[in-house]
Structure formats: structure tokens, C-alpha cells
């Protein structure tokens, strides 16, 4: 069994396709297939079930991939420890991030970290809070910027507060309430809503706020794509909750009205409790906290 064979099977498992996996790791498909087959022959088991369209892991393949990922992850951390000892920070940092981080300038923060540690390569996954936390628990991410969930549901994950983002209501400009200086949520109980997807943490936060105000919102559309939501709102399809920071320079013709009941999105940095930080992740964790503290 050779190291590159483990890397190959992990990538095939991730891509579920030999062609995509070969492109990702920059080898020919024939080489990839031969090496996977060679490893399967050596082990005496089939790791993959192959068909014309996809590649699926066998039951033993799923168990093997879990251990292969742990081995490769530990090897990467060992390399990073050596690099740190030599005064260098190198390696790959796997980060998850939600669509909006409020007043945290994510691009500038990442660029500054890269300026300080130019040997670092980034793998960034953008998704909703719940999906990112699943990836963090599965150790396919090292850290993630998410909305604070119910902590009792994630006992193996640490959360470090970073910032709050105040939510407001976005309405069509011609809406009867568009000129109000602030709104009580009960005033919009009869409105149609453009909402966050149910898989998004802000869905439950906004839903709870509506229920507390005495109504269940009439949701006519769910989307995590802000431009789509804002275009629908500006066209008069409904109203929606949005982070105030995201609407400061919006090009869409909408009205922005603050809420009388504070509705906040708590942005946190999430990271595993059990896993030991790689040197790169440890540096990034420390850097993010200092960066955020400098904003206050």
C-alpha cells in the first residue's frame, strides 16, 4: 500500500467519479484507475461499486476511507509541525463560510492572513450553517464561520463569538409600510414572505421571531441567493428579513425598515473540540480573533 494510492481513493470517494478525481489530482484517468485497482487487489476487497455514471463506496470502502482520511490528515499535520519548527507556516487550510459575515470584511481578513503566511493554500466551502457544521464534525473542514446554532446540539464543537449582525425588513418601495421609521413584527403578520431556506440557521431564528410576535409567516419563496430574494421583493412578490450590513449599498429598489424587536445574527467561529489544531489552523484561529478584536 502506497501513500499516493490512499490519496487517489479518497479523491475518488469525494468526487464519485474517476474522471473528475483524475482532473482534481492532475493524473491520467488510466493511471488513477490502475492504482485504485492495484490497491483493491492488494487488500483483497472492492472499495468501489462502479457503473456507467457514478462510483459508490462499498460498505468496507466506507470504513476504509474514514481511516485513510485520518491517516492523510495526521500526515499533513506532521508536515506542518516540521514546517513550523523550521520557522515556516505551510499547508492547506480548509475553511467553511456562510454567505454574509456582517461587518467582518472576510476578503480583507483572508488577504491579510495570506500576506503574513504566503505558504498557505486555502480550500473554502460556502454553504449554510448546518451543512458547514456537518462538514466540521466530519473533519473535512478545520474551522467555519457560521451563525450560532443551539449549542446543545453540537457538544463536540466549540464556538467563539465574533460579531452580531442586526436584521431588518426589506420591502418593495411602494409598500404601504415602506416609509415607517421602524416596524413591529405583528404589523406584517398578513404579508407574504421571501424566506431563508429551512436548512439555514436564520430560517429558524426568523421563524421564532414571527411566532413570538403572534403569527406564522406566509412563506411564498425560499432562497439562499440574496440577489434573487431582493429582486423578488423589489418586484412586489413579498417582504423579507435581511442583515442590515448586506443592504447598505444594495442596487435593488427596496425600502429598508428596522425592527422594533431586535433580531440579531450572531456570527461565530466554529472548530472541533477533540481534534488538535494543525499549526496552520492554530495560526488562523489566533489571527481571526485578533482581527475581530481590532474592529471594536
Q: What is the pLDDT of residues 168-199, one digit of tens each?
A: 999 999 999 999 999 999 999 999 999 988 88
User: Of all helices (H) and strands (E), which one includes residue 274?
Assistant: none
Question: What 8-state DSSP symbol labels residue 183?
Answer: B
Question: Backbone phi, then psi, for 247, in 5-degree steps?
Answer: -100, 5
Residue 226 CA, distance from chain mean position: 16
CATH fold for domain 3-74: Arc Repressor Mutant, subunit A (1.10.10)
- Choices 3.10.50.40, 3.30.43.10, 3.40.190.290, 3.60.90.10: CATH for 93-272: 3.40.190.290
C-alpha cell recorded at residue 126: 460556502
Answer whether 0.85 is exceeded by the pTM: no
Q: What is the pLDDT of residues 238-271, one digit of tens each?
A: 999 998 887 877 889 999 999 998 898 899 999 8
Mean pLDDT across the chain: 86
| Sequence ranges of the domains in the chain | 3-74, 93-272
Amino acid at each position: 500500500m502506497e501513500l499516493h494510492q490512499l490519496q487517489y481513493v479518497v479523491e475518488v470517494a469525494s468526487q464519485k467519479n474517476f474522471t473528475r478525481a483524475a482532473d482534481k489530482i492532475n493524473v491520467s484517468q488510466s493511471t488513477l484507475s490502475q492504482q485504485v485497482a492495484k490497491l483493491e487487489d492488494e487488500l483483497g476487497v472492492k472499495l468501489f461499486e462502479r457503473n456507467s455514471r457514478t462510483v459508490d463506496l462499498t460498505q468496507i470502502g466506507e470504513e476504509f476511507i474514514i481511516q485513510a482520511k485520518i491517516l492523510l490528515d495526521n500526515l499533513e499535520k506532521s508536515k506542518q509541525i516540521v514546517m513550523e519548527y523550521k520557522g515556516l507556516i505551510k499547508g492547506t487550510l480548509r475553511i467553511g463560510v456562510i454567505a454574509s459575515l456582517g461587518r467582518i470584511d472576510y476578503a480583507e481578513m483572508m488577504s491579510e492572513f495570506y500576506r503574513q503566511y504566503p505558504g498557505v493554500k486555502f480550500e473554502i466551502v460556502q454553504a449554510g450553517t448546518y451543512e458547514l457544521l456537518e462538514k466540521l464534525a466530519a473533519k473535512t473542514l478545520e474551522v467555519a464561520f457560521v451563525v450560532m446554532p443551539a449549542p446543545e446540539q453540537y457538544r463536540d464543537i466549540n464556538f467563539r463569538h465574533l460579531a452580531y449582525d442586526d436584521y431588518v425588513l426589506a420591502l418593495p418601495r411602494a409598500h404601504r409600510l415602506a416609509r415607517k421609521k421602524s416596524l413591529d413584527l405583528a404589523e406584517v403578520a398578513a404579508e407574504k414572505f421571501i424566506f431563508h431556506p429551512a436548512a439555514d440557521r436564520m430560517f429558524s431564528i426568523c421563524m421564532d421571531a414571527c411566532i413570538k410576535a403572534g403569527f406564522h409567516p406566509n412563506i411564498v419563496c425560499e432562497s439562499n441567493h440574496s440577489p434573487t430574494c431582493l429582486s423578488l421583493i423589489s418586484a412586489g412578490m413579498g417582504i423579507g428579513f435581511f442583515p442590515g450590513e448586506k443592504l447598505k449599498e444594495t442596487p435593488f429598489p427596496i425600502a429598508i425598515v428596522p425592527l422594533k424587536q431586535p433580531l440579531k445574527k450572531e456570527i461565530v467561529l466554529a472548530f472541533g473540540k477533540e481534534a488538535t489544531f494543525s499549526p496552520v489552523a492554530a495560526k488562523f484561529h489566533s489571527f481571526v480573533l485578533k482581527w475581530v478584536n481590532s474592529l471594536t
